[in-house]
Amino acid sequence: MTRIDALLAAGRTTSFEFFPPKTDKGEAALRNTLNELEPLSPSFVSITYGAGGSTRERTHRLVVDLLNRTSMTPMAHLTGVNHTREDLAGILGRYRDAGVENILALRGDPPRDAEEVFFELERAWQLVELAREVGGDAFSIGVAAHPSGHPLAPDLATDRKHLAAKLAVADFAVTQFFFAAEEYTRLLEDLAALDCHTPVLPGIIPITNIRQIQRFAELSGTEVPAALADRFHALGDDAAAVHALGVEVATQLCQELLDAGAPGLHFYTLNRSSATREIHANLGL
C-alpha cells in the first residue's frame, strides 16, 4: 500500500520530510540520512519544493529516485508560485507517468530576493483541483495546515474556513510545526466545528539548534514559546545538552499528540537522522 489516503485509513503513519540538497556534499549527507532512516520503515517520506531554478528539478529527481531505488514511498511537494498552470500540469503529468502517487499541493512563498513573482494558481486548493484533473485517481493529495493561522489571512477564524474548504477537496493535511499539543487539538476542534474531519498529520520539528528554529518559526509566521526557548538558551553552546533537550521535548509532544488521537506523526528532519531516530525509539514506534 503506497497511497497516503489508504495508509491513513489503515492505521497510524510515521513520515519524514527532507529538502533537496544544493551541493554534492549535501547530497552525500542526505544519502546517509536516508540509509539510516529507511530501516525505521516510514509510511512515507516527503521532499520539499524550492523557490526556483534548479532546486525545483532536484525535487523531481529525488522523488523518482526514492520511488525506484528504495523501499520508501515518496510524496512530492509542489507549489503554485512562479509557475504557469501549464507548467504545473506538466510537472504533475511527469509525476503521474513516473508512478508517483502522493502530492502535497501548496501555494508556496515568493522568494525574498525575487525580482518577479506571479501566480496563475494563487491558492493551494486550485492546485489540488489541477492535480485531480491531471491525475484522476492516480494521486492521493495532501495540503498544508497552519495551527496558529496563516500570516496572510485577516484572522484565525477566516483562515480556518479557508482550510476547511481546502480540506474538502484534499485527502489529508500536514501541519506547520508547533510546540504545544493544544495548538493541534484546537485546530482539530475548530475544523470539527466546521464539519471538517479530513485527517490532519501534526508536523514535528525537533529543536537541535534554537536560533535556527526561531528563525524558521519567524519565517513561517509562528513562534517558539518564550519559556521553551529560555530552556534551550540556558544551555548556551553545549550542543549535546541542546540535542538531548530537543529530543526530550519533541518526544513528550509526540506522546501527547498520539494520546490525543493524531492519525500519525510527520517529522521535519532537516536532512538529519539522529534526533528523529531517538524520538522514534523513545516512542516505541
202 is a contact residue toward ligand FAD (CB under 6 A) = no
C-alpha cell at 85: 498552470
77 is a contact residue toward ligand FAD (CB under 6 A) = yes
Per-residue burial over 13-39, b = 16 or more CB atoms within 10 Å of its CB, e = otherwise: bbbbbbbbbeeeeeeeebeebbeebbe
Which one among 74, 135, 202, 203 touches ligand FAD, defined by CB under 6 A?
203
Contacting range for ligand FAD; rule: CB under 6 A; set: 4-12, 23-31, 149-157, 223-231: 149-157
C-alpha cell at 124: 493551494
Rounded-to-integer distance, Cα 80 and Cα 77, Å = 10
Report the residue number, 172 or 232, with the smaller CB distance to ligand FAD.
172
Specify whether the CB–CB gap between 230 and 255 falls below 8 A: no
**What are the φ and ψ backbone dihedral angles of 205, each rounded to 5 degrees?**
-120, 115
Q: How many residues interact with ligand FAD (rule CB under 6 A)?
A: 23
Nearest C-alpha neighbor of 191 from the set 224, 217, 156: 156
Which one among 106, 141, 191, 253 touches ligand FAD, defined by CB under 6 A?
106
194 is a contact residue toward ligand FAD (CB under 6 A) = no
Helix (H, G, I), strand (E, B) or coil at 22: coil
C-alpha cell at 113: 530576493
Q: Is the dihedral of CA 174, 106, 219, 55 positive or negative?
A: positive
CA distances from 4 to 38, 60, 144 (A): 17, 18, 14
144 is a contact residue toward ligand FAD (CB under 6 A) = yes
CB of 50 to ligand FAD, least distance (A): 7
Note if 17 is an active site residue. Answer: yes
Contacting range for ligand FAD; rule: CB under 6 A; set: 25-33, 94-102, 106-114, 211-219: 106-114
150 is a contact residue toward ligand FAD (CB under 6 A) = yes
Nearest C-alpha neighbor of 16 from the set 258, 244, 200, 266: 266
CB of 181 to ligand FAD, least distance (A): 17
Specify whether the CB–CB gap between 199 and 43 falls below 8 A: no
CB of 51 to ligand FAD, least distance (A): 6
CB of 124 to ligand FAD, least distance (A): 3
Report the residue number, 162 or 231, with the smaller CB distance to ligand FAD.
162
Which one among 140, 176, 198, 222 touches ligand FAD, defined by CB under 6 A?
176
Give, as ranges, the residues between 151 and 170 that touch ligand FAD (CB under 6 A): 152-153, 159, 162, 166
CB of 169 to ligand FAD, least distance (A): 11
Nearest C-alpha neighbor of 180 from the set 230, 232, 211, 222: 222
User: What amino acid positions are annotated as catalytic residues?
Assistant: 17
Residues near ligand FAD (CB under 6 A):
48-49, 51, 77, 79, 106-109, 123-124, 143-144, 150, 152-153, 159, 162, 166, 174-176, 203
